[in-house]
Amino acid sequence: MNKWVYVHFPHLLLDYQLALQPPELTDAPQILVTSQQGQRLVHQATAAALQQGVRLQMAEVLASTLVTHLQIRDYHQQQEQRVLQQLAQLVYQDVAQLVLVPPQGLLCEVASLVRLHGGYPNLISYLQQRLQQWPLRYQLSCGYSPLSARLLAQAQQGVINENPAVIQQALAELPITACGFTPSQQQRLQEVGMQRLGQLMQVPRAELGRRFGKALVLYMAELQGELPSPQHYYQPPLSFQQYLDLLTEIPSWPQLLFPLKRLLQQAEAFLQGHQQSTRMLLIKAHHRHGQPTQVRVAFAHPVWQQQDLLQLSQLHLERQQLVQPVLGLTVVIQQTEPRVASNQALLTETKQSETNIDSLVSLLQARLGTDKVHRITLHQHWLPEQRGQLQAWQRAQAVQAAGQHSSLRVKRPLWLLPEPQPIQVQDWDLHWGPEHLATGWWLSEPVQRDYFIGVDKNQRQAWLFKDQQGWYLHGWFS
Amino acid sequence: MVGSVKPVALHCLSNYSFLRGASHPHELIEQAYQLGYQAIAITDECSLAGIVRAYVAAREYPIQLLVGSEFRLDDVGTLIVLVRNKQGYAQLCELITLARSRCKKGSYLLQLDDFKQRLSDCEILWRPLTSLGLTPALLALAQRLRGLFGQRLWLAYGRHYQADDAEQYSLYQSLQQNTGIKVAAACQVTYHQASRQPLADVLVAIHEQQPLDCCLAQIKSNQDYGLRTAAELQQCYPAEWLATAAEVAKQCHFCLSELQYQYPAELVPAGMNATEYLRQLTYAGAAQRFPQGLKADVKAKLEKELQLIAQLKYEYFFLTIHDIVQFAQQQDILYQGRGSAANSVVCYCLQITAVNPDQIDVLFERFISAERDEPPDIDVDFEHQRREEVIQYIYRKYGRHRAALAATVIRYRLRSALRDVGKALGYPEQELRHYLQQIDKRDTECDWQQQLSAKVPGLLETQRGRWLLTLTEAIKGFPRHLSQHVGGFVIAATNLNQLVPVENASMPERTVIQWDKDDIEALRLIKVDILALGMLSALQKMFKLVREHYHQDYHLANIPPADQQVFKMLQQADSVGVFQIESRAQMNMLPRLKPHCFYDLVVQIAIVRPGPIQGDMVHPYLRRRAGQEAVTYPSAAVKQVLARTLGVPIFQEQVIKLAMVAAGFSGGEADQLRRAMANWKSNGELQQFEHKLIRGMLARGYSDEFAQRIFAQICGFGEYGFPESHSASFANLAYASAWLKYHYPLTFYCALLNSLPMGFYSADQLIQDARRHQLVVLPANIQQSHWHHQLVPLQQGYGLQLGLRLVKGLAADEIKQLIEQRPRSGFRNLQQLRDLGLSATTLQRLAAADVLGSLAGNRYQSQWQSLAHQAEQLPLFAHQQTAEATPDYLPKPSEFADIAGDYQTTGVSLRRHPLALLREQGWLRHSKSAQSLQLCRHKQLVTVTGLVTCRQRPGSAGGVTFITLEDETGMANVVIWARVAKAYRKAFLTSQLLTVKGILEREGEVIHIIAGELIDSSEQLARLGMQANRSRDFH
Amino acid sequence: MATSAAVEELLRRGLLWQGQAMPEQQQQQVVASGWRELNQYLAGGWPVGSVNELQLSQRFSGELALLLPLIKQQESTTVWLNPPALPYAAGLDYQQLDLRNQLVIQEADAKLAVWALEQAIKHPAVGLVLAWCDELTAVQVRRLQAAAEAAQNLVFILTTSSTTEARSYVTRVQLHGVKVKSVAAPTHLHASNERSTSVSYVPILQFALRKRRSGWPLADLECAIPDYLPRWRQRSGRRLTA
């Protein structure tokens, strides 16, 4: 009985992207391109493109001359990997023994499922029906060994049959070029006249070994299923979800703190069990009717202890109001990350028991809102107002010290006004300047300003500039 | 304020500081003149590559050009060296050569102590690194520089309105007080006008290989790096520092015109001067060239030439070339002088050229003219496989310090310009490639900007799009880097690197001067072009084979001229392999022109070129030649010029003579016309000649219609007008190769095959042509073949034994070494080959190419056996030794598989042509064979199928593509109009086997098929299991 | 006036307080202010664990220059609460100040601002707090002072109000802006070419100490703050042409 099924998705990434596009776009000819040794070749193509003569591995330049307004995008391996993961999650609901074969294949061990689905044909049709949910072009094939199923599927010669003999017969017909051989192996086989896999199968293993080396002998053994092929099966990712039923209807958040504390206790146990911490907490308050109100609590740094979770959630909840009384409470944690041992300095002075400023930031952001807490950041930009900015505080933000561009470390005021203020130049006594600033010509509004250092009647030193429109105050030196 | 002194610019970078300067040298000079400058220094970075262009521009204006160069040293800052006098100039050239010699092309290396005891005749301006302020280290460095240069050291202060101007100013002031080095005002000029700031920024972005937004730290923040007016200078520099700058400029008074060129002296034997020695050599040569004595008019020409050469002192030039040519003769290297030299009788006598002056009417003014006073330009072609020997001879004879190759400046063209500017402006690679595809460079009416804005309307709406167009146009023509001229040598009497800096070329042991051929011409230096020509190597091999097998001693000079059999062969367009007249277009012209003498060949070579085609001279000439049109000349003078070409101007010399005769131009003016013709598209000088020409002809009584036609023909000539002297030299070789093809065909094909890659046809096409001439060609095999193709004796006559060199991927010496050990009776079995040390991979390649047939049966069997010992001994299977008998499961190769195998491994097959098999299978029922087309009548509807072997889309053909289809009987010419190409786009672009339905057009024996429908029959090839892609596409 | 043993004893136990002389043994922990004259007036510098008030007669007249030495020497974080304009990264970086240690809070609501101020003072990772606010009640100041003392932090409240009501600030300073004094100096820089006398000008901060731990209030004080500010030059009002 052929206990392996292989599903091959020739245009996985492209089909997935098509599914996300609006319908009228999907019939436009599109291709994904990869570059091998400096040559850009077609990797995947839509049906429309194939129909107008585009072939896989064809040069991109030729393809774009063949099809006039052809949409060309770059193929990305990791994106396709992620799509395969999502697909595996879907198929996992039906097939426990599932193996990911990047970049475009799924291998299923189905022997155990035949009885469940009552016979081989029902099993296969069930699988096909499950794959229909995704508009992906695919090729399904059975096989008595993983390699045999894979070869038939990838060569678009899928065989759906229980009997191994039928598989054997289909394999014999496969051309040498579609058997996964290396180019040098393939050339040598062709030079001795082997065009079909069947011819190779007739050669006794001893002769095969003498002529083509050990690699081919192992290949044949794997193909015939004589070698045990250990596969590592697919494991789904980790997440936590806990629901608590409240005995009485609770109208406002503060009274909800007590049940929340219990739920967060279990969350801490889950995180501690897996040595994980999280940055994102989802709290759902279920009402008698209608959708549950959802409160998303984000932390600036990964936490796992219950009192941290509670303190910060409390601050978030105070800012929300409850529209209806609450019957039940759910706490969900989706993303977790491995816990990083924070380097506790051994001999901590009296003051810095917790050197990390982030806990203050989390506290302030929770109470005041994330847009109230800033860093002072320096940017490589020629426009003064872009050069120094206030940016919302993120934890792992590499602050770019201007140190290394010594050429950019020039005399500048300590303060900058958010908006330059028009002034009367007569009130000012100009001490230094002009510094000509005239660049950014390649952008829509290039700028031409002459900057001066001027002093007002109260001896306050300021940063002034003149442009086509007139004189402005832009910053103060103290 | 001190009296306003006329400003000077001491530190200017031209665009010969690659990717730094944003203006051409002449733009800087013109702008400085407009602003009333007294002097301007062009100081490119460790280079004098742009100085000659600056000198040529500066000659036109009353402004002093200071010669100098800039060096950036890591811990010192920038040193600007300005040359005081001729010795100073030589010192600077030597320093640059030293700096460049230490690194590979494009970079240089200098330390401070390289400046010891050098540059004693130069002024040095120092721009220190001041970011750390006035540190003790800076003061120490200042003292050290003071020690090195003494009074010739100055401080260069440039104010560019930056935030730290005040600090810089006071630093320079205190430096001057502490060290006594006087400060001179010297802006750092990187462009002539502020409007060039965008281009300067783009150059920085290209250098950093980043879009503009990512190199904000590197680009300047304002547009104050241009030339300033006197008023602006007084505004931002103290008068004292401006005066110092003028004082520095006053020290320098060197001009490039002081460089005279002395020729290598050792060529003239002691006790004689150059003129006498040249005369003696010339007459010795004349005795050989004209055994029956000199005719009066030839002697007169000889004397006139010798007298002019003596007057202009060019004797050494001829002696140098004579010496090189003598070396080639001793080494039996075939050579031929060409170019304007072919117009000189002296060169013919000195064996430099092989064109007998009375075969073509010689125009000596074209070679040297007193008026022009420019050195002659001689190119000498050598056998392309032995040219390196000539080059090394020159290096050996004159030494590397006295001989070097001229440079060629690689400049931005449209494609590279749009790509680099686009990337700087942040456009993605794909989008730029898309834009480039929209532009048809050959469309002369609207330029590339109009085409692009028409095809991509959105582009011009954005600011960035407008900048893309303007900056791409601006950067076109900017130098990108120096590379080496193909063969132009400059030879000096003393050290070359005192005349011009010398750099390492990219090729090993090759050195290049920093000037290109225009610079050399501008300074009247001598350049000798050592070029390579494939056909010369082939001819040399043919003569050797004829001597060896037919015991006849022929060489270029003694081939019987005007052999009518040979001309008859050419008139039937049987010219595959013949030099210069083997292309499809030439083959179509031969039956119409029917050449029957040497001069006809000279015309044939020149006439199938874009110049005559665009000038519409081909048809009138052919009609007059066939007697369908009366040959008329508007005047006797014109008749004298155009008689040989039946009143139709074909050659460049004729146009010049016409200008002299019909429009009264002097020799020099006529030559300026020729030069204007050569690049009329780029600078449009031709327009001012238009009035002069037309007025001159009208004044001499020619009709306006004639004058307009002549001028139109001149414009048509443009850069394609072919000089008669060139055509004559080529005609010499064309006739020789045609003669050998007729009389000794086997040596002809064997020599050509051994000289590949060259010419127009592949090995397979040459072999097919040989077999069509009933020559016996024997396939390569291990028992008979050598490395090269050979002639082998048969029962009667000779056959062509193909060599093992045909097999792709073989190492020549491994095979040659094997063949030396081949026993007389041949090898017995494969094992013997292995014992002789043949590697396994070579054995497999030989087996795959089916050359081991005699030892191991068909190609599958020989491959099977060659693999036998290839796999390492597997312990499990070692004991089972099976006999070498061929196993039953090994298939027999079909004829298709064999043909495919041949093409894959050798590119050649002596088996049947694939089309023969298809026709045999009945798959080509409705297609006529190429041969049977001869019998079809004009305008008949025909269908032809063949392998696409050549696609040509010549610019002058207005969008028409010529395709050649090859089948087992021969080749068919197909003409595909743009309309049809568009309709059958896929078949047109991708098919290897093409079926064409169209109308046959016949003109005498010349047959074309005007394609109406294209069908891709490649899958029939696939059915054969063969992928013969042998199309040679020339676009 | 001979001090008797009893007075000595009182002094030692810090119960007796003398007008001028600073009792040595009471050497409070202080942070140097970075300016010579100010350190003298403050007996060494700003007391650690203190909330200090700077009353500005006019914004941007030397107050940040005054505090800059303190900010520069901070290893831990400095918190800026409601600064009157954008602390400009390019200017701060030019003065070699580590931007990574600066945390800026902008909160319009006064009550929330004070809450944030208190959280900042209490947090161990914060070393210095600068807060711009108009009116703080005595109760709020007392709470902040207690927090600062507990966390041993240094806090400055910069305000434009000139109230004289009692507050539990440790130090209260009234800033009256900058005056320029001319001083003979070696040659001086002039961008234009006109010869000018070699004289240089030093900025002097005018202020009064209305309250200080180490002694009586003092008026009309001066402290030169030349670093961090562009040089002055005496121009006869002639504007440099562009």
In a domain, A56, yes or no: no
pLDDT at B118: 85
Retrieve residue B529's tokens: 């072009």
Higher pLDDT, B1032 or A223: A223
State the ipTM, two decimals.
Answer: 0.74
Of the partner residues A52, A210, A381, the one whose CB lies closest to the CB of residue B216: A381
Cβ within 8 Å, pair C191-B235: no
pLDDT in tens, B248-284: 999 999 999 888 766 666 778 878 888 889 999 999 9
CB C107 within 8 A of CB A372: yes
Amino acid at A326: V
In a domain, A198, yes or no: yes
Give the mean pLDDT of B310-325.
86
pLDDT at B156: 95
In a domain, C224, yes or no: no
In angstroms, the CA B230 to CA C129 distance is: 55
pLDDT at C84: 93
Cβ within 8 Å, pair A192-B890: yes
Are residues A316 and A439 both part of a single domain? Answer: no
In a domain, A162, yes or no: yes
Are residues A288 and A212 both part of a single domain? Answer: no
In angstroms, the CA A54 to CA B985 distance is: 12
Cβ within 8 Å, pair C191-B173: no
- With an 8 Å Cβ cutoff, is C242 touching chain B? no
Q: What region, left, alpha or beta, does residue B860 occupy, with left being phi > 0 and alpha being psi -120 to 50 degrees?
A: alpha
Domain that holds residue C140: 28-173
The tally of domains found in chain A comes to 3
With tokens 């000779």, the residue in question is B798
Nearest residue to B250 (alpha-carbon basis) of B347, B154, B148:
B154
* Residue B1035 clears pLDDT 50, i.e. is over it: no
* Residue B71 clears pLDDT 90, i.e. is over it: yes
Subunits next to B (3 or more Cβ pairs <8 Å) are A, C
Subunits next to A (3 or more Cβ pairs <8 Å) are B, C
pLDDT at B693: 82
pLDDT at B669: 76
> Is CATH 3.50.50.60 correct for B8-192+227-258?
no
Are residues A246 and A217 both part of a single domain? Answer: no
In a domain, C54, yes or no: yes
* Residue C114 clears pLDDT 90, i.e. is over it: yes
Are residues A118 and A183 both part of a single domain? Answer: yes
CB B886 within 8 A of CB B857: yes
In a domain, A130, yes or no: yes
Which range among A328-332, A346-350, B385-389, B733-737 has the greatest average pLDDT? B733-737
pLDDT in tens, A251-282: 887 788 888 888 888 888 888 877 888 888 88
In angstroms, the CA A375 to CA C77 distance is: 11
Chain B, window 276-305: residues with a beta carbon less than 8 angstroms from a chain A beta carbon: none
Of the partner residues C68, C119, C177, the one whose CB lies closest to the CB of residue A360: C119
Cβ within 8 Å, pair A437-B221: yes
CB B78 within 8 A of CB B127: yes
Nearest residue to A352 (alpha-carbon basis) of C217, C123, B351:
C123
Query: Per mean pLDDT, which range of A163-167, A341-345, B989-993 is the poorest?
Result: A341-345
Chain B, window 747-776: residues with a beta carbon less than 8 angstroms from a chain A beta carbon: none
- With an 8 Å Cβ cutoff, is C240 touching chain B? no
With a CB cutoff of 8 Å and minimum separation 6, the contacts of B1011 are: B963, B974, B975, B976, B977, B980, B996, B997, B998
Are residues A195 and A296 both part of a single domain? Answer: no
Are residues A194 and A280 both part of a single domain? Answer: no
* Residue B538 clears pLDDT 80, i.e. is over it: yes
pLDDT at B725: 79
Domain that holds residue A478: 412-478
Size of interface A-C (CB pairs under 8 A): 194
For residue A353, list chain C residues with Cβ-Cβ distance below 8 A. Answer: 124
What separation in angstroms does the CA of C76 have from each of A358, A401, B415, B586, C127?
Answer: 12, 17, 56, 86, 5
In a domain, A62, yes or no: no
C53: β partners:
C157, C172
Q: Which CATH class is domain B914-1034?
A: mainly beta
CA atoms within 13 A on the CB side of A312: 32
pLDDT in tens, B898-922: 888 888 889 899 988 888 888 888 8
In angstroms, the CA A32 to CA C17 distance is: 85
For residue C188, list chain B residues with Cβ-Cβ distance below 8 A. Answer: 170
For residue C116, list chain A residues with Cβ-Cβ distance below 8 A. Answer: 364, 367-368
> If pLDDT is split at 50, 70 and 90, which confidence band does A344 have?
very low
Amino acid at A45: A
pLDDT in tens, A130-142: 888 778 888 989 8
In angstroms, the CA A244 to CA A232 distance is: 37
Give the residue from B132, B159, B161, B434 with the most A CB atoms within 10 Å of its CB, the best one to mutate: B161
* Residue B833 clears pLDDT 80, i.e. is over it: yes
Give the residue from B430, B438, B992 with the most A CB atoms within 10 Å of its CB, the best one to mutate: B430
In a domain, C241, yes or no: no
What separation in angstroms does the CA of C192 have from each of A467, B169, B237, B895, C197?
Answer: 22, 10, 8, 94, 13
- With an 8 Å Cβ cutoff, is B217 touching chain A? yes
Distance from CA of B677 to the nearest CA of C (A): 51
For residue B161, list chain A residues with Cβ-Cβ distance below 8 A. Answer: 434-436, 450
Domain ranges in chain B are: 8-192+227-258, 260-383, 414-478, 914-1034
CATH number at residue C51: 3.40.50.300
Are residues A173 and A256 both part of a single domain? Answer: no
Give the mean pLDDT of B565-592.
90
pLDDT in tens, B443-471: 656 778 888 888 788 888 888 889 999 99
Distance from CA of B1019 to the nearest CA of A (A): 13
Give the residue from A35, A54, A192 with the most B CB atoms within 10 Å of its CB, the best one to mutate: A192
pLDDT at A402: 41
Distance from CA of C89 to the nearest CA of A (A): 5
For residue B164, list chain A residues with Cβ-Cβ distance below 8 A. Answer: 410-411
Nearest residue to A82 (alpha-carbon basis) of A96, A100, A58:
A100
CB atoms within 10 A of CB C26: 13
Are residues A254 and A279 both part of a single domain? Answer: yes
In a domain, A197, yes or no: yes
Helix, strand or coil for residue B341? helix
Which range among A112-116, A290-294, B203-207, B908-912 has the greatest average pLDDT? B203-207
> If pLDDT is split at 50, 70 and 90, which confidence band does C185 have?
low
The tally of domains found in chain C comes to 1
Distance from CA of B974 to the nearest CA of A (A): 22
* Residue A343 clears pLDDT 50, i.e. is over it: no
> If pLDDT is split at 50, 70 and 90, which confidence band does B718 have?
low
pLDDT in tens, C3-56: 567 776 766 666 666 555 544 434 568 888 888 888 888 888 898 889 999 999
Give the mean pLDDT of B484-489.
83
For residue C107, list chain A residues with Cβ-Cβ distance below 8 A. Answer: 368, 372
Give the mean pLDDT of B222-248.
93
Retrieve residue B486's tokens: 């193909």
pLDDT in tens, B139-195: 999 999 999 999 999 999 999 998 888 889 989 999 999 899 999 999 999 999 999
> If pLDDT is split at 50, 70 and 90, which confidence band does A355 have?
low
Give the mean pLDDT of A354-366.
79
pLDDT at C166: 83
Give the mean pLDDT of C198-206.
81
Cβ within 8 Å, pair A406-B131: yes
- CA–centroid distance for B404 within its chain: 18
Are residues A190 and A276 both part of a single domain? Answer: no
Of the partner residues B217, B224, B848, the one whose CB lies closest to the CB of residue A405: B217
- With an 8 Å Cβ cutoff, is C86 touching chain B? no
Are residues A209 and A290 both part of a single domain? Answer: no
DSSP string, B265-319: GGGSPTT--HHHHHHHHHHHHHHHH-TT---HHHHHHHHHHHHHHHHHT-HHHHH
Distance from CA of A266 to the nearest CA of C (A): 29
Are residues A99 and A215 both part of a single domain? Answer: yes
Average pLDDT, chain C: 81
Distance from CA of B77 to the nearest CA of C (A): 23
CB C99 within 8 A of CB A389: no
pLDDT at A51: 86
Are residues A245 and A190 both part of a single domain? Answer: no
Q: What fold, for B414-478?
A: Arc Repressor Mutant, subunit A (1.10.10)
pLDDT in tens, C187-196: 444 444 444 4
> If pLDDT is split at 50, 70 and 90, which confidence band does C235 have?
low
